[in-house]
Structure 1
């Protein structure tokens, strides 16, 4: 008996739908792209329950003829392709003819549509892939797609989805990406009846950028335009002084299609290399325009991946466009705006760099003993290997190297200690204990600071508000994207606290799971400890160095900072003797 069988149409549809419809955001993306392809001037999006309960997209585009509507639910039925050659001349966002049938097979979908030449429209209901009859209805010109109870017939798929806030954030991401690319279209977004965005039509992309990404991003953008070899690169890139904690602020478009392309992404980071610190990311809106024949968009069902015919040429053009922009002196994106006032210049410190011809603040004798305590941390034991005896004489402070590493010695060898990593561990353990006792020291601001966040940041803040409060951030919700910051952890500089809070949100925005307060608190603690710790290239006095090592020894033993970087490095005396051939 044959083992291979042809799958029933219902199972085949479910498998195909899984490639296109991963979550509510996938549905929203496909419906918004269809609305854009229809030549709409206004697109209205309504969400309920993060898109799980309802996704409704209304547009004022060309609509569909009554005869075309049933065909739209057939797999691979499309108005955008006629021949195989058309695949290499695609000018629209959609073309595969998979979206509507895939979405309809896992939801309850209702479509109302009307073309300009008709006095009335038509309506059809499709439930779980079963199409109902066409009904004549009154409706405005355009198309209204209403998707309800997503994955109602696939409970297993539904269990893999995240929290409502997480799913909403993914929907907002797609809404923002498409809205940025089409400022000439008006967009509206609401969730559970509450309006989140209302974006009027505009010919100035910077107006749309400010509305979606915020004033601070807008204030630090610089335009760029570069063209060579038939490839045009344009857009806006942030100045080196403004960076983010993740790559969420990098928006890449190929012929106005948002893509996730490693080649372009790498070119962007390469262009900013040596201009911004290594772990930081710029904000970039990059629009790549090239002939459709030079790019293949038929790579993945979600249409978010592309292949270029001349990859190296594209890479170099993108990199060169951003490099030229960063290296030339040109006005910022808005020439009429006032630049932020720079920090006042101050006289250099009277303390000279070490070494110096002046007497350093370190002890003149490198063998001044530390006789009040003995050194027994796990880190040092590990540095000198297993099996060493526990009893040790005290460490002697030798000094500081490059303003970053403290040097100690004892009878067993030399110990190098990273002052930033050590202090970071100290602050983390201290804050962790205070947090567990509900006694994190805070500073109440004399005047609350108003925070104007992006919608994605606002969603993230609300999801993590409990964890932030436990760590000293008392924040009042003023509605939509506005918040009032009333208290901050005492470890932070009051002037830097609002910016630090946004940086924390940048890290938390990548969290996929439902909020876990304990894990959230720990992640924020790590961030606060790192921010408050002594920096590298900072000279310390003898008293400060000894105080640092004493406090470190008073906490639970650890060989790394909270980020996992080593705190100490031991160089045994035997290794020194071997190197200098004394053994």
Structure 2
């Protein structure tokens, strides 16, 4: 390549520089909503009204009652790196406002038709400025009583390549609403409204309690499980509300984290939350939590991400322990234990073992724990201790397999190996050598270990089966088989379920899937659904519980919801099984597809052949 063809370094035009900056700050319409609403709050607004048309493509309008911008400073407000929030270098290390780099307004104005009207506090009249594609096209006096009004029209109209990355109008509207939700939860003193498509979708009065504001966004089944916490350590404070493990869901979109009032996405903070719930949740479950962390401004760097979504802490270990302590404080007051669900009786046929549990969501058992003072540690260190505390019933058996006759299940009183009594070894192993061969297999049932594992002999191999994991797999298989045929049982009187606004959108998204399972649903107005038919294998009570869980988005998909239900419904570790109960479970488990792993991917069965055993005893 000759020297004459080498590219030449040039200073970019102002408009192009703003469009490049816009790519960092303005990803989609919800980004515009975030920047403009935060500007309003920085201006001391106690009332912010947002209007969105066509998902934000056609119009985003934000109006507030803040202290406004002086007429002679409107042009500076749409100039890059012009700000009222930083005056010296030291200010960068102690940012207390939301916006501070002077990039949002010029970036937005460079990719839209932008008009800002403002009445500065104490001014006789308001003023406006119009910007088209980053260039000022007009400014002058205007009519506005107080505050600031920003109109963003034809977003990305001059950058069509950006438009193709936007989602549907419904999706973009939902993201705008979620953005306003996150901001509003951190500013309970302010009132907010959101109008979309000419209809008021949201109105939040000022000076609300956090619990009252959350009820606008989250369904009752979630809000009822929330517990408050307020924990302080070495000048750091964590406060908010945390959900009971019993209301955990299969997605993490209800984990809301804030640092000094700013909504953030921080992996270390999330890890602290997960650590507090350790042993109480399944690997695919997520709690609901709204967590506000307050730290000195000089000990957190909020300038590490263009959209200010990420932060960096000076004392990460202190942040971690403060968050963990706060969440554990909430969990120590949780009054709900995991659900205790009855097993079918002996008279029920084995093929109903899955159907009896499918779709259940029984109300959790209430236990009262009233410590005399706030505690920073949870009552239970692990989920196992959590389970053991409420003592699930151990005398309700699983059904007996119909293929096994009563004579095959009669045992003599002179068993030769362990006798008729239970043998305990170091307090950990209890069982009886039953020596019962499962019909049609080479498996021989020997007993139960630690009230958790079923011991079998398969030829010359020793086999251990996790009873909880095996039952999970059985239940999930039954649900899948019975719930996808579309068969429906009509109800004489329709079942009425009141819908929270957030549940309406969820219902519309899963209505076809529910129909394939046998649910016949009909919307009756904007806040009620009529259930005219249910799957034949569910009773009315269980059908209601199933729908409530589905509408609360406790899982990403319906299959994930079945998985969660199978886990919560399955017999637990630490539950003693009679011989007939164990044999019933093993019979149906051996006929179940994918039986070697539970729905979460954990192994159900562990085997040792003679060579493995010789290695364990160091014979090889």
TM-score by length of 2: 0.74
More divergent stretch after superposition (54-63 vs 212-221): 212-221
1:417 to 462, 465, 476: 465
Q: Distance in 1 between matches of 2:578 and 2:270?
A: 44
> Is 2:329 aligned against 1:305?
no
Contact 1:246 1:506 in 2 (8 A): no
Contact 1:121 1:138 in 2 (8 A): yes
> Is 2:175 aligned against 1:170?
yes
Q: Distance in 1 between matches of 2:78 and 2:564?
A: 50
Residue equivalent to 1:450: 497
Q: Which SS does the other structure have where 1:234 is aligned?
A: strand
> Is 2:435 aligned against 1:367?
yes
Q: Which SS does the other structure have where 2:39 is aligned?
A: helix
1:188 deviates by 0.9
1:199 deviates by 0.9
Contact 1:106 1:151 in 2 (8 A): yes
Q: Distance in 2 between matches of 1:195 and 1:567?
A: 52
1:312 deviates by 2.5
Q: What is the correspondence of 1:101-140 to structure 2 with a 5 Å cutoff?
A: 101-118=106-123, 120-140=125-145
1:93 deviates by 1.2
1:151 to 128, 153, 156: 156
Taking a change above 3 Å as real, the CA distance of residues 174 and 402 of structure 1, as seen in their structure-2 partners, is: same
1:448 deviates by 2.4
Q: What is the correspondence of 1:130-529 to structure 2 with a 5 Å cutoff?
A: 130-202=135-207, 204-238=209-243, 242-273=247-278, 280-324=285-329, 326-327=331-332, 342=366, 348-350=393-395, 357=421, 366-371=434-439, 373-374=440-441, 394-434=442-482, 436-439=484-487, 444=491, 448-453=495-500, 455=502, 457-478=503-524, 483-484=529-530, 489=535, 495=541, 498=544, 500-505=546-551, 520=557, 522-529=559-566
Contact 2:227 2:334 in 1 (8 A): no
Give the alignment's Cα RMSD to 1 decimal: 4.1
> Is 2:12 aligned against 1:8?
yes
- Tell me the alpha carbon deviations over residues 354-392 of structure 1, each in whole angstroms, 9 at most, x when there is no partner: 999479xx9976433334x35xxxxxxxxxxxxxxxxxx
Q: Which runs of 5+ in 1 are unaligned?
A: 331-339, 375-393, 512-519
Q: Distance in 2 between matches of 1:428 and 1:275?
A: 21
1:29 deviates by 0.9
More divergent stretch after superposition (37-46 vs 478-487): 478-487
- Tell me the alpha carbon deviations over residues 139-176 of structure 1, each in whole angstroms, 9 at most, x when there is no partner: 34222222233333444433333344433332222211
Contact 1:491 1:528 in 2 (8 A): no
Q: Distance in 2 between matches of 1:568 and 1:269?
A: 28
> Is 2:48 aligned against 1:43?
yes
1:245 deviates by 4.0
Taking a change above 3 Å as real, the CA distance of residues 433 and 315 of structure 1, as seen in their structure-2 partners, is: closer
Q: Which runs of 5+ in 2 are unaligned?
A: 336-363, 369-389, 398-417, 424-429
Q: Which SS does the other structure have where 2:156 is aligned?
A: coil
TM-score by length of 1: 0.78
More divergent stretch after superposition (216-225 vs 30-39): 216-225
Q: Distance in 2 between matches of 1:23 and 1:163?
A: 12
Q: Distance in 2 between matches of 1:237 and 1:369?
A: 49
- Tell me the alpha carbon deviations over residues 311-341 of structure 1, each in whole angstroms, 9 at most, x when there is no partner: 33333333334445555799xxxxxxxxx99
Residue equivalent to 1:389: none
Q: Which SS does the other structure have where 2:213 is aligned?
A: helix
Taking a change above 3 Å as real, the CA distance of residues 341 and 201 of structure 1, as seen in their structure-2 partners, is: farther
Contact 1:504 1:527 in 2 (8 A): no
- Tell me the alpha carbon deviations over residues 332-352 of structure 1, each in whole angstroms, 9 at most, x when there is no partner: xxxxxxxx9938999955479
Q: Distance in 2 between matches of 1:159 and 1:355?
A: 75
1:94 deviates by 1.0
Q: Distance in 2 between matches of 1:466 and 1:62?
A: 50
Residue equivalent to 2:78: 73
